[in-house]
Structure 1
Amino acid sequence: MVACVSTAIHQKINTLQSIKVNMKHSIKNLCYLLLLLLTGCTAAHKQSLNSPHLLPSTGGIVSIYLNVDQPIQQDHITFDQLELCSDSVWYPLTSIENIRSTNVIKQKLIAVDSVPTGIISKIRFRVEITDQEGNKEVSQHSELSLTEPFELHNGSSQCLFLHGQLHLARPNTPIQTWLTVSPQKAPLTDELLYILCPEIHSIYLARMDQYRIIAAYAVEGEVVEMKLDATKRLLYLLDKKNLLIQRFDTTTQLMTDRIPLPLTESPQGLEISANGDTLFVTDPNNRQVLSINTYNGTLTNSVSVGYDPTRPHFFTHNGTDYLAILSKADQQLIVLDTEDLAPLYSVAAGQSPQDIIYADQSLFVADEFNRQILLFEPETGQIRAKISTNGSPQRFAVDPLNQNILITLQDQHAVTFLPFGQQMTVRKAPCGASPGDLKISNNRQLLFVANQTENQIIVLDLLSQQQISTLTIGATPTVLVIQEP
């Protein structure tokens, strides 16, 4: 009996010891798990701060550019170890990778990152300048105070500019004597290029006469298209997420209105009439086209058109206004009366229609699959010609002064020129690895092409048809808009 009791007691003791050991292991494992979670959270938080595509809950995007007084080879001046001081706290920035390049520049994007809200007052970094042989002429760690500290608001987007007088840079010269830093200022010119970068919810502004980025502004929601009323200087932004149109005053550089689109599910296309009185919106999900009065923001008409109406294009032919629309899924070109949106005709538009434009008394449609341009009679939809492009046509622009239609060829990484009245393209000009939207400055005879994979805007001179400059922005450019007198 005593032996049985003793055995039972020993079994209880062993069980309790086992439980104690298991509890120790469990507590240890739990602590380790918590440590992993905390480490993961810290890493995730750090990643979100260093990734411009992931805005922090209380922060904004800052793009830092270097402007120099004399042209310099791009890889002869580099910046790293960048930090910004916000409310007396230093935050590291992700530098733009320095690419070996012989391009001569006067502006260089050196960093774009998300930064917590606060008063931005200082920047520190290391800068190196090399000569033609790669020898270091200047290598300095430095801290600079902004000429005008600014407040970075939640969800905002802002540019900072380092201004360098390189002819004063010497190895032992204080950096403050040849380099200063200041925030962006409101533009004082009407010759502006607006560049939409949805990935970082930003619009960049560039001066077309200087080939320089001069400012950035934040946009809300998911903006997929922009159109400009040049007369009233109003920029309309189609917000797909919030089902509305934002109105941006380009004179005051402020958002002034939001026009709701209650009948839409996923608006994609936006167009504006020649007089700026009407906006046209296409919604592929609802298979609808809407017309909006710009004065009071009211819906004036809505019709069901095509299978997935996209890319609306307003044009005037023989004194009559029309709205042309591509329906890609059923491969149709549809032309409507702008007064009541009544369909006038619908015709086959190739196997993969991508864009549409009116020029030289004709409608042009880019048929990517068949590598051709289709010409239509605007009033009847009768096909006039099929023009081979020897490449995959994507987007159009019209150069009325030189009487050319410009066409981006995605697979050729180029833009090709189609003279008015001809049925053969005549030249090609390289315009980046992935040409997207393109716009023409008629006043300056310049072509701007969005190079989407390299986050650049390629600038071509229309007279020589040669590339003359490149603008670099902080994310993929999707839509370009030009404002000029």
Structure 2
Amino acid sequence: MKLYISNYLSNSISILDYKDFKTEEILLDDGTYPHHFCINKKQKLMYLPSSINGIMYILDLELKKIIDSMSIGGNLSQIGISKGELYISNEDSNSIYIINEHTLEPVGIISVGETPHGFDFNEKENKLYVPCKNSIYCIDTLSKCIDREIKIDFKAWHIKVDTKKNEVYVSTLDGSVIVLDGFNMKIKHTINQFLIPVEICFNYSKSEVYIADLGHKKVVILDYNNLEIKGEIKINGNPQGLAISRNEELLFVSDTQNNSIKVYNAINHMFINEIKTGKEPTTIICL
């Protein structure tokens, strides 16, 4: 029942126990600047790519310190784990780096389109979806080859895979969220009522989709079945990261303006609590 938060400007990781809302902060080395991360829950390791110096850091969550690092180079943006391999997007080289998680040896590099900021896996289908400027890629994680590429008229950046419907939600810098069919990569829906949409998460028990709109300072609530807007949560700050508790009863929003995590009841969307973090909390992961 823990929430992990990367604090970009304070070079730290906050850990929130959302049973009692108590927090602890792990201070990292100066210059780390954690923006995104992923966690091996079994090994209790956190992998943190730095966009500043091109280094991936390994944080031991039990020892609460960096135990190893690897120089990759470039503007490292996002990281994820799939079947014992680390995938890291590099915005400078327009590529996805693949590294063996256990040996830290390189597995391969996949060239994609311009500025691959984020990505997401569909583990059931062995696919990796990568949004780029004016294009989206589907990569087979077994063969390490590009399975499909589509050109779009949007500057895609954040992405979330819905494994239930095998659909891919992509937020764009153009103020739209597009939804693609995960099999043929064709656009099924385009939703335009945003300013700067960022993170996306699903509440399957309530049949809702949450989208953080940084520009309008709110979280937009979509009906999962028809994608119509059914409500909103005003944040009074800058919402960026989103996560939902495992029982889908709590919604967590990182507020980079107020340096806090805001907690909402996912049943009635009412505000519950605000917990202070380090400076500029970005990514949040709920375990």
TM-score category, normalised to shorter length: 0.7 to 0.9
Per the alignment, residue 127 of structure 2 pairs with: 278
Per the alignment, residue 269 of structure 2 pairs with: 423
Per the alignment, residue 453 of structure 1 pairs with: none
2: distance between equivalents of 1:213 and 1:351? 37
Mapped pair 1:354 → 2:198: yes
Mapped pair 1:265 → 2:111: no
| Matched AA of 1:213 | I
Question: Does the 8 Å contact 2:87/2:97 carry over to 1?
Answer: yes
Q: Which has the higher helix share?
A: 1
1: distance between equivalents of 2:94 and 2:173? 22
TM-score (norm 1): 0.49
Per the alignment, residue 313 of structure 1 pairs with: 160
**Larger Rg: 1 or 2?**
1
Classify 1:109/1:379 alpha carbon distance in 2 versus 1 (closer, same or farther; 3 Å): closer
Classify 1:254/1:338 alpha carbon distance in 2 versus 1 (closer, same or farther; 3 Å): same
Per the alignment, residue 219 of structure 1 pairs with: 72
| Matched AA of 1:234 | E
Per the alignment, residue 43 of structure 2 pairs with: 190
3-state SS of 1:199 partner: coil
Per the alignment, residue 413 of structure 1 pairs with: 259
State the 1:259 CA deviation: 2.0
User: Which runs of 5 or more structure 2 residues have no equivalent in the other structure?
Assistant: 1-23, 33-39
State the 1:323 CA deviation: 0.3
> Residues 171-211 of structure 1, C-alpha deviation per residue, up to 9 Å, x if partnerless?
xxxxxxxxxxxxxxxx9x71111111121221111122332
1: distance between equivalents of 2:30 and 2:241? 30
Mapped pair 1:322 → 2:167: yes
1: distance between equivalents of 2:171 and 2:87? 21
| Matched AA of 1:254 | E
Alignment of 1:425-464 (within 5 A): 425-440=271-286, 442=287
2: distance between equivalents of 1:321 and 1:111? 40
3-state SS of 1:426 partner: strand
Classify 1:402/1:314 alpha carbon distance in 2 versus 1 (closer, same or farther; 3 Å): closer
Question: Does the 8 Å contact 2:200/2:211 carry over to 1?
Answer: yes
Per the alignment, residue 304 of structure 1 pairs with: 151
Question: Does the 8 Å contact 1:373/1:389 carry over to 2?
Answer: yes
Classify 1:292/1:404 alpha carbon distance in 2 versus 1 (closer, same or farther; 3 Å): same
State the 1:370 CA deviation: 2.5
State the 1:216 CA deviation: 1.4
- Structure of higher RCO (CA pairs closer than 8 Å, 6+ residues apart): 2
Per the alignment, residue 364 of structure 1 pairs with: 210
Per the alignment, residue 342 of structure 1 pairs with: 186
3-state SS of 2:52 partner: helix
Q: Which has the higher strand share?
A: 2
Question: Does the 8 Å contact 1:334/1:346 carry over to 2?
Answer: yes
Classify 1:212/1:324 alpha carbon distance in 2 versus 1 (closer, same or farther; 3 Å): same
Per the alignment, residue 18 of structure 2 pairs with: none
> Residues 383-440 of structure 1, C-alpha deviation per residue, up to 9 Å, x if partnerless?
1111222222111122214731210111111000122212222100001122122223
Which of 383, 398, 405 aligns to 2:229? It is 383
Question: Does the 8 Å contact 1:276/1:294 carry over to 2?
Answer: no
2: distance between equivalents of 1:282 and 1:369? 20
Classify 1:288/1:427 alpha carbon distance in 2 versus 1 (closer, same or farther; 3 Å): same
User: Which runs of 5 or more structure 1 residues have no equivalent in the other structure?
Assistant: 1-103, 114-186, 443-485
2: distance between equivalents of 1:301 and 1:340? 8
2: distance between equivalents of 1:398 and 1:304? 31
Question: Does the 8 Å contact 2:159/2:199 carry over to 1?
Answer: no
State the 1:239 CA deviation: 2.2
Question: Does the 8 Å contact 2:203/2:248 carry over to 1?
Answer: no
1: distance between equivalents of 2:131 and 2:224? 20
3-state SS of 2:166 partner: strand
| Matched AA of 2:270 | M
Classify 1:392/1:242 alpha carbon distance in 2 versus 1 (closer, same or farther; 3 Å): closer
1: distance between equivalents of 2:279 and 2:29? 21
Question: Does the 8 Å contact 2:126/2:142 carry over to 1?
Answer: yes
1: distance between equivalents of 2:137 and 2:27? 42
| Matched AA of 2:274 | K
> Residues 248-275 of structure 1, C-alpha deviation per residue, up to 9 Å, x if partnerless?
11122222222233xx233323221133
State the 1:367 CA deviation: 1.6
Mapped pair 1:244 → 2:90: no
Question: Does the 8 Å contact 1:205/1:214 carry over to 2?
Answer: yes
Classify 1:250/1:327 alpha carbon distance in 2 versus 1 (closer, same or farther; 3 Å): same
3-state SS of 1:200 partner: coil
- Aligned positions, number: 254
Once superposed, what is the RMSD of the aligned Cα atoms? 2.6
3-state SS of 1:335 partner: strand
Question: Does the 8 Å contact 1:349/1:374 carry over to 2?
Answer: no
| Matched AA of 1:240 | E
Alignment of 1:109-258 (within 5 A): 190-229=43-82, 232-258=83-109
| Matched AA of 1:281 | V
